[in-house]
Chain A
Amino acid sequence: QIQLVQSGPELKKPGESVKISCKASGYTFTDYAMHWVKQAPGKGLKWMGWINTYTGKPTYADDFKGRFVFSLEASASTANLQISNLKNEDTATYFCARMIRATGGFDYWGQGVMVTVSS
């Protein structure tokens, strides 16, 4: 069955970096774009951008340009999100989500990774 399995929770200090992984299984990884979504505690969902899993080209929403990097380990069917120079406001759960081709909806989601930034 199709699954997106993300890495475990992270506790980091301001200024540090974190790398989150999202391992896909049950389908051809390069056939579907992978998107990233942020959810701050008790808040709604915010789209961060996406990565073309065939070409590796990332696209970032404006609020996520600069410190955020989407990457792939295509041979391992894994998408990664790296956040550098962490700030308190990066404290959130980060989800990866597979996009349905031709509609833009997200049909499968990872379980989410809670990143806590605290001194």
Chain B
Amino acid sequence: DTVLTQSPALAVSPGERVSISCRASEGVNSYMHWYQQKPGQQPKLLIYKASNLASGVPARFSGSGSGTDFTLTIDPVEADDTATYFCQQSWNDPRTFGGGTKLELK
């Protein structure tokens, strides 16, 4: 299975820029997607296919990368961005998710 590795947690101040990384154990082309999940809610798609902004998602969110290394960037961070962020690949079967990065605001 393709293992996706994310840092467990990050803490940033509002107004700053934050980059959340996701490293795949094998290449996934550009088939990496990013989700935001707040407690008690379903995940919300932010970025699909590495760099495409999902409908209705603020332009403060952006994605980059290909192959095995991917980044979700939020600039600037707002208080409402407190959440856990997951990456997910759809190039290899089975589809897999990263363990999630919990973003906290200082």
Contact = CB atoms under 8 A, between A and B. Distances in A.
A62 interface: yes
B97 A45 contact: yes
B99 interface: yes
B90 A44 contact: no
A12 B44 CA distance: 29
A9 B45 CA distance: 24
A44 B100 contact: yes
Contacts of B100: 44-45
Q: SS class of chain B's interface: helix, strand, loop or mixed?
A: loop
Contacts of A105: 33, 45, 48-49, 54, 88, 90
A109 B86 CA distance: 14
Q: How large is the interface on B (under 10, 10 to 19, 20 to 34, 35 or more residues)?
A: 20 to 34
Q: How large is the interface on A (under 10, 10 to 19, 20 to 34, 35 or more residues)?
A: 20 to 34
Contacts of B91: 104
Nearest to A98: B45
A54 interface: no
A74 B29 CA distance: 33
Interface of A: 35, 37, 44-47, 61-62, 95, 97, 100, 103-107, 109-112
A107 B54 CA distance: 8
B7 to A, nearest CB: 13
Given A97-B43, A103-B33, 9 more contacts: A44-B99, A45-B97, A45-B100, A46-B97, A47-B94, A47-B97, A104-B33, A105-B48, A111-B41
Contacts of A100: 48
B42 A110 contact: yes
B64 interface: no
B49 A45 contact: no
Contacts of A106: 33, 35, 43, 45, 88
A87 B4 CA distance: 27
A107 B86 contact: no
A100, A105, A106: most-surrounded residue (chain B CB, <10 A): A105
B89 to A, nearest CB: 8
